[in-house]
Amino acid sequence: MSTQQEPNVDAVREYWDSHTLGMQYVKDRSLEPGTAEFFAHIRPWMNPYKFPWIMQRIEREAALLRGKHLLEIGCGMGFDSLEFLKRGVRVTATDLTPNAVRLATRHFALEGVRPESVHTENALRLSFPDETFDAVWSNGVLHATGDTRRAVAEARRVLKTGGRAIISHFYRKPSWMYLVSRLGREPIEHGTEDPPVNEFYRDEEILSFFEGFQVIEAVHEHHRAIPVAKTGFKAALYTYGFAPLYNLLPAGVALRFAYKLSVTAIKV
């Protein structure tokens, strides 16, 4: 495999290994990462708890997957996998970075749940044989790998025929976040530096990644400008200028400019 096809994998690994999602929400620096207090501290900021539609999606899928085997790609600290495990789904949780794997392993042990495995995997080159899993879950990951089309194809490869890919979410354009990130030219969503790869796509392009799937749901999410952790001049412009004005738009209009698209699809 040439480095051209995986242009940023080392940079991506390096970034996420030192910016495991959740660390930016730690306000109490005395907390030791990997302790019960640490996970409780950041939990309200993490996807399934912060965004109710993510928890609803986990509940919907877990009801279909009880006793079946789900692969999570890019598990971070393991909050999503944890919710599947609590609902009786067999889970293999994976991430590109050793730090995420360490934290997720610790998290599961503290919660008393038993995954099938927790280990490092590259979404672009999964180590599993074809047709291994009943479902693949990936939340906020595939657009950050450097080759989104290939990551979706890899997810398809390891799914059994009839298996479900639940990808929450892709970054979309046109969207308010795309506009802000183009105008701002500095991280608005992330506390410090942005990840090295964070691709925005048009809806048609995202759906074209799902070759060999039947797409059963594709929904716009995050149509309102959300609070950001960052401080400084541009963040203030965003918080006190852009966000309140933008959020006056009627929902029907704002939904067209939502910044995320989540897709659920079945392998055919």
Ligand X SMILES: C[S@@+](CC[C@H](N)C(=O)[O-])C[C@H]1O[C@@H](n2cnc3c(N)ncnc32)[C@H](O)[C@@H]1O
Which residue in the shown chain puts its C-beta closest to ligand X? Answer: 76
Nearer of residues 93 and 265 to ligand X, judged by Cβ:
93
How far is 263 from 196, CA to CA, in rounded Å? 24
Q: Could you tell me the smallest distance in angstroms from the CB atom of residue 245 to ligand X?
A: 27
Task: Report how far residue 153's alpha carbon sits from residue 186's, in angstroms, rounded to the nearest whole number.
Answer: 31
Nearer to ligand X, 72 or 134 (CB): 72
Closer CB to ligand X, 12 or 254, in the complex: 12
φ/ψ bin of 110: left (φ > 0), alpha (ψ from -120 to 50), beta (otherwise): alpha
List beta partners, residue 117.
92
Count of CB atoms situated within 10 Å of the CB of 192: 11
Distance CA 216, CA 76 (A): 26
The least distance separating ligand X from the CB of residue 99, rounded to whole angstroms, comes to 8
Q: Provide, rounded to whole angstroms, the least separation between the CB of residue 100 and ligand X.
A: 5
**What is the smallest separation between the CB atom of 151 and ligand X, expressed in angstroms?**
7
User: Under a CB-based contact definition with an 8 Å cutoff, are residues 182 and 224 in contact?
Assistant: no
Alpha-carbon distance 195 to 21, whole Å?
11
Nearer to ligand X, 41 or 249 (CB): 41
Q: How far is the CB of 56 from ligand X (least distance, A)?
A: 15
Q: Are 239 and 153 in contact (CB under 8 A)?
A: no
Complex with ligand X: residue 194 or 205, whichever CB lies closer? 194
Question: Which positions lie near ligand X, rule CB under 6 A?
Answer: 12, 16, 21, 46-47, 73-76, 79, 95-97, 100, 121-124, 139-141, 144-145
56 CB neighbour count, 10 Å cutoff: 11
